[in-house]
Amino acid sequence: MSGRESLYARLPAIYRRRDAELGGPLRALLSVIDRQLETVRADIETTWDNAFVETAEEWLIPYLGGALGVPVARDVQAIAFSRRALVANTLGYRRRKGTAAMLEQLSRDLTNYPARVVEFFTRLAWNESINHPTGRHATLDLRSTVALERLSGPFEEATRTVDVRSIHSGRGQHNLPNIGLFLWRTQLRALTAATAPSMALVGQSAFRFNPFGVDRPLYAALETETDPAAIATEASVPLALSRRRLWERARQLGSQMKFPFSIAVHGLEGGNNPVVRPVSATQVAICDLSAIETNPATVAADQVVVDPELGRFVLGSDFTTGLSGIEVFTHHIIATAGQLGAGPWDRDDDAQAWLERFTAPPEARTIGFQVLVARRGTGPDVVPTLDQAVTRWHDYLNGLPGDAARGRALGIILIGDSATHAPPAQVIRVPTGAVLGILGATWPEVPEAPGTRIKGEMVAEGVRPLVTGDLLIQGNATSATNRGEVLLGGFALTGSVRVELGSLDRLRLASLSVLGAQAVRVNTTNGSNAALELTLERTIANGITAYQSIGNIVLTDSAVTGALHAPKSPLEARGSTVLGACQSGRLSASNCIFVGAVLVEQHQEGCLRFSYYPRANSRVPPSFRCQPDLAFEAAEGNAQLTTLVGLRMKPRFVSTDPHAPGFLLLDPECPPEIRTAAEDGGEPGCWHHLQHGIRLANLRNAIPQFLRFGMEPGIFFLV
């Protein structure tokens, strides 16, 4: 019995001794009774726990909610969503019915989005009584630059005249009955020790925070609200940092200011002595660096000037004087709509599931090769470059005794930091049956012994490497039934992934960003890679090319920002977005968005379900409940309405830039028929897995029960 003395242990010693002499039949009997007794005891304890919402089992939560009359909410699988908070807080919601703080908490509990509620009647301008002045300003103070920055946003301080348009349409806002719920679909993630690319300006040590070398705003980690009666502030929602607000905060706090970013300069002093020069908070100044290409910034020798809106900074001369081989690293917060492409989020479970395919029966392989790529790491299995790691992989294969041993080789190359790495200067070879994973992750450290790492385990959170160039992969299989497999995941690539002449069984790209001109290219000359299965999972690729037939192409929750050109190969797509033209041999797709023309060779096979595709110039397999087909069917017989549908029914995105937080999110101005075209009534495309439509429906279903009579709610999404 777990945690309790067993029945056998309670017997007198003479009986236990006699039972041992007979071979233990009594012990075996009582062990069976012990297990049944423990089951009964656990059931009694669970029954007691199920009486309280804080400790009840998850399956029981909806029944407790039903007893309280909690609004019905559909399950959301995309997040660690539980109705427990909604049910537990229901009585509190009803006591505070209609208050802004209560509506914010309800919105967060139902959607898991940061929220800010605005009572628009408090922002209306009206004529005051001379006897009862309220002190409200009808005009905005033009000297308050911070207040001017907040115009037309959820934290606006200006007063407005009445807007009589409906708030449900998203157009009208300022009116007496209107309540605005502002929700952010943006998630914030910390990126640690990322290489800051130089802006290469003459006479200036100017850098960008974004490792890709593009201007992007900085963010601060969200502050947790401790007072349930307080409404959200700018610090508790994912707003991009403003120069003015950050400058004023630094001025108020002085030396106590802790900036949401850090900078460190690494280099060699005296030619071979490694030196790190960190930047302290007192050395940071906030300014506008938008014109430093033509108007150099004036920086004190011991100072660093930072532009949080563009993500730029310029180092003073003290940080670089006397150093060679300078490399600047930063720690900062990045914004994204979810886990799509490479990012510093937890991917341990996905990598572990991939490993278990080979380490568990029937494969039961042993991880025979492990190497960690870390720019400044030390250890017997730690190398500074990806090229050295690939060389060790080849040496490991060459050292195995024969083809049979190489056919069961299982190797892992971990890129264990967020630095910028050069690609390997050689083709990555994978012989018959061998399996290789190249992942953005690191080995965890032993807590009791800092600096000692645990091989065989992986930690991916906080790590997002950047590889600047192409990865060349070659399958050297000699068997038609047991080719090699490669997994690439967890890092960004500015070049492309190219499968060279040969025979590879599977190439899996998971949580990868491939941003080169020809992102994924499979060489199919003379029947090469004819059986290759190319799989993209939550990956961003700038295009896919396979001129001749390969085994299969599978897109799952992925985005292809260029053309997908595979005119002879079958394509399976689930919850994905393709911006360019799509050509395939066969097509089976559901919950997808195809912006460019779709041309399928075998258009009498396969199926297109709950998706969007352009009807003009497309040739697709049989479709089921797709747009704009449904819209045209509804307008059939009305020529004017049919023309209007053809002009209107096109997807609109918040952004098509892979570095922007609103990347491929459907814009609120996008036609509602497209925004609700997915099978679950939500938005199709690469963000379908977030189940935004279900979250929004849950919120809209619940809000009327917690509003005061006569109030009108409106929901607005921000990124």
Tens digit of each residue's pLDDT (9 = 90 or more) over 406-420: 888 999 999 989 999
* Paired strand residues for 286: 306
Rounded to the nearest 10 degrees, the angle between the axes of helix 25-49 and helix 13-21 is 120
Q: How confident is the model at residue 1 (pLDDT cuts 50, 70, 90)?
A: very low
* pLDDT exceeds 50 at position 3: no
pLDDT of residue 129: 72
The torsion region of residue 497 among left (phi > 0), alpha (psi -120 to 50) and beta comes to beta
**Backbone phi, then psi, for 405, in 5-degree steps?**
-70, -40
269-273, 317-321, 566-570, 594-598: which has the minimum mean pLDDT? 269-273
Specify the amino acid at residue 184.
W
* 240 close to 334: Cβ distance less than 8 angstroms: no
pLDDT of residue 596: 94
Write down the pTM of the prediction. Answer: 0.88
pLDDT of residue 134: 65
* pLDDT exceeds 90 at position 443: no
Q: How confident is the model at residue 436 (pLDDT cuts 50, 70, 90)?
A: very high
Selected residue with higher pLDDT from 418 and 171: 418
Percentage of the residues of the chain whose pLDDT score is greater than 70: 96
Average pLDDT for residues 504-511, to the nearest whole number?
A: 92
pLDDT of residue 79: 65
Longest dimension (CA), the chain: 103
pLDDT of residue 136: 64
Token duo for residue 433: 């049956």
Q: How confident is the model at residue 80 (pLDDT cuts 50, 70, 90)?
A: low
* 342 close to 464: Cβ distance less than 8 angstroms: yes
- b/e code 125-139 from CB counts within 10 Å (16+ = b): eeeeeeeeeeeeeee
For residue range 308-366, list pLDDT tens digits in order.
999 999 999 999 888 888 899 999 999 999 999 999 988 877 888 888 888 888 888 88
76-80, 415-419, 556-560: which has the minimum mean pLDDT? 76-80
Average pLDDT for residues 97-105, to the nearest whole number?
A: 89
Q: How confident is the model at residue 157 (pLDDT cuts 50, 70, 90)?
A: confident
* pLDDT exceeds 60 at position 4: no
Which residues, 6+ apart, have CB-to-CB distance to 9 below 8 Å? none
Token duo for residue 574: 């689930």
pLDDT of residue 69: 81
Token duo for residue 262: 């850090």
Q: How confident is the model at residue 2 (pLDDT cuts 50, 70, 90)?
A: very low
Token duo for residue 676: 């609700």
Average pLDDT for residues 18-30, to the nearest whole number?
A: 84
* pLDDT exceeds 60 at position 480: no
Average pLDDT for residues 357-381, to the nearest whole number?
A: 84
pLDDT of residue 216: 93
Q: How far apart are the first and last CA of the chain?
A: 53
pLDDT of residue 132: 66
Selected residue with higher pLDDT from 611 and 91: 611
Residue 205: closest CA among 268, 270, 296: 296
Residue 437: closest CA among 532, 344, 501, 368: 368
pLDDT of residue 352: 81
* pLDDT exceeds 50 at position 265: yes
Selected residue with higher pLDDT from 72 and 572: 572
Selected residue with higher pLDDT from 72 and 450: 72
42-46, 300-304, 431-435, 563-567: which has the minimum mean pLDDT? 42-46
* pLDDT exceeds 50 at position 97: yes
What integer best gives the mean pLDDT of the chain? 87
Q: Where are the alpha helices (DSSP H) in 79-178?
A: 84-95, 100-111, 145-149
Q: Where are the alpha helices (DSSP H) in 7-99?
A: 7-10, 13-21, 25-49, 61-68, 84-95
61-75, 164-178, 277-291, 384-398: which has the minimum mean pLDDT? 61-75
pLDDT of residue 478: 60
**What is the rounded distance in angstroms from the CA atom of residue 619 to the CA atom of residue 601?**
8
pLDDT of residue 452: 65
* pLDDT exceeds 70 at position 493: yes
Average pLDDT for residues 562-568, to the nearest whole number?
A: 94
241-245, 438-442, 450-454, 667-671: which has the minimum mean pLDDT? 450-454
Which residues, 6+ apart, have CB-to-CB distance to 159 below 8 Å? 123, 124, 125, 136, 137, 138
Selected residue with higher pLDDT from 261 and 454: 261
Residue 533: closest CA among 555, 516, 518, 513: 555
**What is the rounded distance in angstroms from the CA atom of residue 710 to the CA atom of residue 641?**
36
